[in-house]
Structure 1
Amino acid sequence: MSLLDKLDAVAAARKALLPEGVEVFGTPIEEVYSSTEARIGDHRILFLGTNNYLGLTFAQECRDAAQEAIHNEGTGTTGSRMANGSYSGHRALEREFAEFYQCGSCIVFTTGYQANLATISGLAGAGDIVLIDGDSHASIYDGCRLSGAEIIRFRHNDAADLEKRLRRLGERSRSTLIIAEGIYSMLGDRAPLADIVKVKDAYNSTLLLDEAHSLGVLGETGQGLVEETGLLDRVDFITGTFSKSLGGIGGYCVSNHPQLDQLRYVSRPYIFTASPTPATIASTRAALKLLREGVELRRQLWKNVHQLYSQLKELGYRLGPEPSPVIATILETPQQALALWKGLLEQGIYVNLVLPPATPEGNSLVRCSVSAVHTSEQMDHVGKTFAMLRETIFQ
């Protein structure tokens, strides 16, 4: 097989699954009207497939901050954080994140993917162990591979299985990095953080928690699962992203361990990537302030979550195990999932289609992302559309 033949195989597999002319992955969004509405082709659609949990992409404070930063500092830094790419805004955002989490220090990265890539590969290395939840995000897997550490998976959300694997490691548990997520991106379920922390402490291991989908969503001030469970001081490292509740792009890691700052000198993804633009940093700083003050936004978000989750459950759809802003409908076959995705789009609702191997246990998913700025009427329309499609597609 030549170098390019494997890509031809991918194209053939896509063609066999997807109807001609249906652009499922990377659907072009022609115009964006608000945090919840846009245009695809000739159709006005309702966004239900973004991670815009607090609806801050159109917040006036964020847009004003970004525009001012472009005017004052230009469109980009044209350099890495280790060269010319650390502006005063980057350092200010790091201080603000550290203060938000009551942690000693923070590092800001260019993307959330890079935050995991850089943090994991900087913390772990050859001779170390990384114990990861089996449903971990691709950025976690890739960070582990880059680290050169031995990778061991434990069963999803199974602290007993985690404990068993640590017990087998013996003294090597002390050089083990455990990784879990606040809310998992495919099925929307939380990690059993209290149980994981208890096991971590018993074996003197180190714990990294990815709060990408739980930042702004869980906890009174939006810190995430660490705040909801009261375990902030028991988690060693917290990573997350700006591209969901903060409505931008970028990532971070916070910790009370003084060694965090040394990652700047050993993490290749940090050293060799251009830094976030001034506009991104400025809008993120404004969004973080809104997130901290966003108690009402979180209340509205969870009201919308419970409304849609209960509607779909009553209709008989198989869903993820618990309500969260990630509401996954689990289908038996890729063809069923595609039919539901296409039917929703034809009715003006954009969601995400997720197919194996990117899904847990080989399931096919239609994945909804609920926002605080969805109206009750929009949620009701979504529920009625799912009801109509269940009668027409699955009978």
Structure 2
Amino acid sequence: MTDTVTAPAGDLFSKFDDIIQTRETLLASGVEDPYNLVMEKVLSPTRAICNGRDTILLGTYNYMGMTFDPDVLEAGKQALADYGSGTTGSRVLNGTFQGHKECEDALREFYGMDHAMVFSTGYQANLGIISTIAGKGDYVILDIDSHASIYDGCAMGNAEIVPFRHNNVEALEKRLRRIPEGAGKLVILEGVYSMMGDVAPLKEMVAVSKKYGAMVLVDEAHSMGFIGENGRGVAEEQGVMDDCDFIIGTFSKSVGTVGGFCVSNHPKFDIMRLVCRPYVFTASLPPSVVATSATSIRKLMHGSNKRAHLWENSKTLHKGLRDLGFDIGTPEAQSAIIAVIMPDLQQGAMMWEALLKEGLYVNLARPPATPAGMTLLRCSLCAEHSAEEVQTILQMFERAGKAVGIIS
């Protein structure tokens, strides 16, 4: 006989009880845990061994497939040999090596901007930049579907948060009109929103923001490398780069490594290196990581053929899934992300597991991370997926969808 364990009064974990119950109910139904997948071996940008099976990867954000690029790998190996495994210090102390400067040089060249600042993660880039430039008494006007790192940056800076309806230009202008004249204003937008893969109307939104004297920050995490003539993102595609005060990005998507950055033309931007806490009080990226990142960024400047192939993959998969009868988050392919809307979490988990057994990995996204409380199977295409692999993916979706009853 065992004693029943009860949570003590004032249990700090009690706030998570609903999530714990949802997870336990899901696992009790016999579905494999979709958030605890182990890749035993990664074979290429598009394939890995999962549960002992050769699996096509369709949920990695490895948009440009740079993770196994020979030049990128060689740069990392050389830096590891020359500089060791880590910096053991902050960028403002002993943590700036030659590779960090070269990585920032590559970013300045890639974006054609005066300043570039590299962070240890994309999350820290948003956390640091937003919390430092927008403080108490300032206003941050942001899309309600903004990434968690954006919301956390707002909270850390203690600015007044003013959300507006997703991708709605009129709602943005309505909020801006109500902000006191003379107050500090920062409008935060994303080029591509990571859940649905939809693109923001940046041209109109940036114009409205400037009309009311606001600074503009655009997070291009999911569009860098892929969208725009030179892969600079949606701001480039829509012709508003010169009107963006800050562009935030990450190395963990198209660049294929880890890290984050901000680029800007603001003449005072360099002071951020002394006043931005998530930059000052964090150990810098290892030499091998900044070396691989710089090499990847420079190669992305000449990635027009890969970009074209990725667009074809995205259009083919989007149309194919719609033709099969799946509910897709956008009316047409807008990015490398395709969101397949599920009826509910239980059926979404069953569909995720059915696809995994077919040999296909996608992301199961659930509330509260998803907009409007939807459950999604989020697909992230890669420039290294062959046309044949895309057709195989469609066949896998058809078999799994019929087996689970999502499509007839």
Q: TM-score when scaled to structure 1?
A: 0.97
Give 2:367's aligned residue. 356
The 2-side partners of 1:195 and 1:93 are apart by 32
Give 2:338's aligned residue. 327
2:256 to 247, 260, 284: 247
Name the Cα RMSD after superposition.
1.2
1:288 to 285, 290, 297: 297
Give 2:161's aligned residue. 151
1:83 has 2:84 as partner: no
CA deviations 1:240-295 (Å, max 9, x no partner) are: 00000000000110011022211112211111110011000000111011110000
> What is the SS of the residue equivalent to 1:199?
helix
The 1-side partners of 2:135 and 2:93 are apart by 25
Give 2:7's aligned residue. none
> What is the SS of the residue equivalent to 1:77?
coil
Query: Which residues of 2 match residues 109-258 of structure 1 at below 5 A?
Result: 109-172=119-182, 174-258=183-267
1:340 has 2:351 as partner: yes
2:116 to 106, 119, 144: 106
> What is the SS of the residue equivalent to 2:105?
helix
1:276 to 269, 275, 285: 285
Give 2:3's aligned residue. none
What are the ranges of 5 or more consecutive residues in structure 1 without an aligned counterpart?
Answer: none
The 2-side partners of 1:9 and 1:116 are apart by 29
Read off the aligned partner of 1:270 and give its amino acid letter.
Y
Read off the aligned partner of 1:347 and give its amino acid letter.
E
**1:22 shift after superposition:** 1.5
Read off the aligned partner of 1:76 and give its amino acid letter.
G
CA deviations 1:216-240 (Å, max 9, x no partner) are: 0111111111211111101110000
The 1-side partners of 2:78 and 2:292 are apart by 10
Read off the aligned partner of 2:161 and give its amino acid letter.
I
The 2-side partners of 1:183 and 1:269 are apart by 24
Give 1:55's aligned residue. 65
**1:364 shift after superposition:** 0.3
What are the ranges of 5 or more consecutive residues in structure 2 without an aligned counterpart?
Answer: 1-9
Change in Cα spacing, 1:9 to 1:251, as seen in structure 2 (3 Å) is same
**1:8 shift after superposition:** 5.3
Read off the aligned partner of 1:379 and give its amino acid letter.
V
**1:20 shift after superposition:** 4.4
Give 1:2's aligned residue. 11
The 1-side partners of 2:345 and 2:75 are apart by 43
Read off the aligned partner of 2:401 and give its amino acid letter.
R
Give the % identical residues. 45
> What is the SS of the residue equivalent to 1:238?
strand
> What is the SS of the residue equivalent to 1:99?
helix
CA deviations 1:49-71 (Å, max 9, x no partner) are: 10000100000000000000000
**1:23 shift after superposition:** 2.2
CA deviations 1:43-88 (Å, max 9, x no partner) are: 1111001000010000000000000000000000000111100111
Contact 2:125 2:260 in 1 (8 A): yes
**1:390 shift after superposition:** 2.5
**1:384 shift after superposition:** 1.2
Read off the aligned partner of 1:101 and give its amino acid letter.
Y
**1:163 shift after superposition:** 0.1
Range that drifts further, 35-44 or 127-136: 35-44
**1:21 shift after superposition:** 6.7
> What is the SS of the residue equivalent to 2:44?
coil
Contact 2:224 2:249 in 1 (8 A): yes
> What is the SS of the residue equivalent to 1:171?
coil
The 2-side partners of 1:105 and 1:167 are apart by 31
The 2-side partners of 1:60 and 1:74 are apart by 20
Q: How many residues get paired?
A: 394
Q: TM-score when scaled to structure 2?
A: 0.94
The 1-side partners of 2:382 and 2:218 are apart by 23
The 2-side partners of 1:140 and 1:197 are apart by 18
Read off the aligned partner of 1:366 and give its amino acid letter.
L
The 1-side partners of 2:21 and 2:402 are apart by 32
